[in-house]
Amino acid sequence: MSLIAALAPAAISGISSLIGYGMQRSALKGAGQMSKLEREYLRNLRERRETGAYDVPALTSQVSQQQQELGRMTQQRATGGAISRGLEKSIVTSEIKRKVDADTLRRIAEESREIALRNEQSKVQAEQELGQFASGRAGRLQNIAMARAQMAGGLVSGLGTAVGQGVDAYQQGKADRPWEGMKPEQFTGMSDEMAAGFYSNLNPQQQMEFLKYLQSIGVL
């Protein structure tokens, strides 16, 4: 067996391993990239971190309008009786209006503060979610890097094993057929003593194969 023939299985194994390694590496590369949904999620988190989750001016305006409308309705109910008795400009009516207006402004201020507080809390939550996202992505990338290193190490180890097995097979073949690679003139140029010594060192099976070999190359 020639060295090239002995290493042929290692070459085939190496090609298969390289193909498999390339496919796995491509899969890992894809796994390391952010999907469209992940990019959109990250963009939303960054936006929430900066501005919050609520449109504070719009919500505050809506609350103000609602409370003012509620205040007018309350004021009409509270002053209706006094007005019907001709007391529209009385001190009692003025006091009722003043109190309703004060309550309306107080409710507007309270709800506006609540909206602003919830918005600030949403910023804090977005910051925490960003940290969790970054930590999770870092862990995933670390796992991918470790998987790549393991694949590369496995590829090198596998190729080394295959080559080593091929070399072992070649060496074993040389031990089993020590005449492999020798030229015909090397046999014809041996003295009788050397030829007899070479032949006697072979086992019976090797002796039979050796004689067949000599016949095939025309020495016998």
Structural Rg of the chain based on CA atoms: 46
pLDDT in tens, 47-87: 999 999 999 999 999 999 999 999 888 888 777 766 666 66
DSSP state of 109: H
d(CA 60, CA 103): 16
E strand or H helix that includes residue 154 = helix 91-176
Q: Please state the pTM of the whole predicted model.
A: 0.49
Higher per-residue pLDDT: 6 or 25: 25
